[in-house]
Amino acid sequence: MTGIERPTGRRDGERGQLVLAAAAVLAVALAPVVLAYLQLGYHADVAASTEYDAPVANAERLLERAVHEVGTNATGRSWSERDETVRRVRDRLDPHLSTLATARIESGTAYATSYNQSAAEDWATNRCPGGPNRDFGDCVAEDGVVVQERVGKTHVLAVALDVTVTTERGERRVTLVVESG
């Protein structure tokens, strides 16, 4: 024999086919993992986004309870005394707003609130109950408080507030219109 003898066994072409087959098996095995990753989605910092939203949600919960309590207790004066009802709502909300302002100071969260008259007017214009089957009177917004005349009595419907939340991550401002009942 002349030249170099090849050992008996697999040829180079068979080795290439084996590598190609192994790559195909690996690709098929990884496909479900890739699809699951794409379907589940990915957010770089989920904890950070919930930390960012939590203080606003906390303020909203406190304000919902306070407005419900204060609005229920202030409802019932005559419609001609609605200015006094609005003053009473704001006076009774003040301790709750003070509590909110200082509630989370030790953990680095500060709240500031102010009444939003334009949001109250928008709410009164677009959301006040009415219609042919309801015998409700005027619906007005005064000093950020929405009241409506019902059978000659003043009913507190909502309070509009601007809430500024300050944390170590920054400042966030939201407008909340909290319904009374």
Domain ranges of the chain: 46-179
CA distances from 59 to 20, 74, 131, 158, 174 (A): 60, 22, 33, 16, 10
pLDDT for the residue numbered 29:
83
Nearest Cα to Cα of residue 147 among 156, 135, 138? 156
pLDDT for the residue numbered 41:
61
Tell me the C-alpha distance between 117 and 113, whole Å: 13
pLDDT for the residue numbered 144:
98
The set of residues, in sequence order, having a beta carbon less than 8 Å from that of 93 and lying 6+ positions away, is 66, 67, 70, 159
> DSSP letter at 133?
T
Locate tokens 């080795």: which residue?
A: 15
Locate tokens 């180079």: which residue?
A: 12
**pLDDT < 50 positions in the chain:** 45-48
Total residues found in the chain within this entry? 181
pLDDT for the residue numbered 50:
56
pLDDT for the residue numbered 23:
82
Q: Residue 54: how many CA atoms within 13 Å on its side-chain side? A: 11
Neighbouring-strand partners of residue 164: 112, 173
pLDDT for the residue numbered 97:
97
Report pLDDT digits (tens) over 73-103.
999 999 999 999 999 999 999 999 999 999 8
